[in-house]
Amino acid sequence: MGQAIATGATIDAPFLEFLQRERAKSLSPREWEFRLAGYGYAIKDIDGRQIVTSLPQGTEIGTLPETWA
C-alpha cells in the first residue's frame, strides 16, 4: 500500500493496513466507522474525500487513497 497525504500529514502503510483490516471485518461503512471510533478515530467526508481524524479533538491524520472511496 502507498501513503496518503492531507494537509502535509501522511498515513503510513501500517496504519493504512490497520484501517483496511477493520474495514474487511465490517459489514457496512457505518459499522466500520463505529469500529474506528472504538479505537479513537473517525472518518470525515469532505469534497468527496475521506479524511481520517482523531477523536475527540478532530485532528486530521490524513486522507484515504481515492481507491477507497
28-68 pLDDT, tens digit per residue, is 999 999 999 999 999 999 888 889 999 988 899 999 888 77
Rounded average pLDDT over 12-19: 94
**Is the N-terminal amide bond of 65 cis, ω within 30° of 0?**
no
**DSSP 3-state percent helix, strand, coil across the chain (nearest 5):** 40, 30, 30
pLDDT at 1: 44
Whether 6 shows a pLDDT value over 50: the answer reads no
pLDDT digits 0-9 by tens, 51-62: 999 998 889 999
